[in-house]
Amino acid sequence: MKTILFLGVEVDLFTSCFGNESLWKALGCQFQSLPEPCNLAAAAEALGNKDLQCVVIEDHENEVWDLVKGYYDKGGFVVYFGIMGEFSAPSAIGGEIGADWSFSAYTTHNYLLTPVAFNYIGDAIRKQQYSKCNLVAAPEGERLMVPEVMTLEEFFEENASDDDDEEEVAKAKASYEEFREAQLRQSPLVLHRNEKGGRFAYLGFVNGDGKIPNIVQALLTDTPANASV
């Protein structure tokens, strides 16, 4: 059985959002937890476990960060549990791992899973209901979920009148493209890869609404999501 390692993470808070330990065990993963402050020797030993699936952290500035970063650099899978919405965390982590990340919003959207996400969790789940999240601006190829953006026609209904001339229509279209791109840069789930195959994910979910537990379980266990669960 694979191991999911929690370093300085409130496991009860994690499972309250993403499912209890028995659900994770059914997917072939058991939990190991080390409290904060973490003993460096114990953390190093845990990170060297050949059956380690991924490591979950809540703090990128603690005493074990260099060990976690080293694990990622060598091809490991690291997950940042961003429930607290620390505004500086995405850009600070991005700077450490070479990712162009920044905090973009704390708000509510309906979400769509992207083709990038399908590569990791399959395509059984395609939408997530209206839910509030901590959101990150990241490159398109790293966004696993994005807001469901209104169409150009819907945008026109809200922002243009029937008697607008061609110049005004052109301005409205340009405004829509700016609006659309701004919306798509509000992702609750992003993932950066390095050249060694290391993965670093940011989870911006603040609850377990809808299919969020299924999505997170699938991503962290490398198991295709089951939409019927």
pLDDT at 161: 61
Domain hosting residue 120, numbered range: 2-144+187-221
**Shared-domain flag, residues 178 and 103:** no
**Shared-domain flag, residues 92 and 199:** yes
Q: Domains in the chain: how many in total?
A: 2
**Shared-domain flag, residues 113 and 204:** yes
Of 128, 78, 90, give the one whose Cα is nearest residue 108.
128
**Shared-domain flag, residues 31 and 56:** yes
**Shared-domain flag, residues 90 and 172:** no
**Shared-domain flag, residues 204 and 139:** yes
User: Is the whole-model pTM more than 0.95?
Assistant: no
pLDDT at 160: 62
**HEC secondary structure over the chain:** CEEEEEECCCHHHHHHHHCCHHHHHHCCEEEEEECCCCCHHHHHHHHCCCCEEEEEECCCCCCCHHHHHHHHHCCCEEEEECCCCCCCHHHHHHHHHCCCCEEEEEEEEEEEECHHHHHHHCCCCCEEEEEEEEEEECCHHHECEEECCCCHHHHHHHHCCCCCCHHHHHHHHHHHHHHHHHHHCCECEEEEECCCCCEEEEECECCCCCCHHHHHHHHHHCCCCCCCC
**Shared-domain flag, residues 159 and 131:** no
Per-residue confidence band for 94, with pLDDT thresholds at 50, 70 and 90:
very high
Residue 227, in any domain of the structure: no
pLDDT at 198: 98
**Shared-domain flag, residues 56 and 161:** no
pLDDT at 229: 54
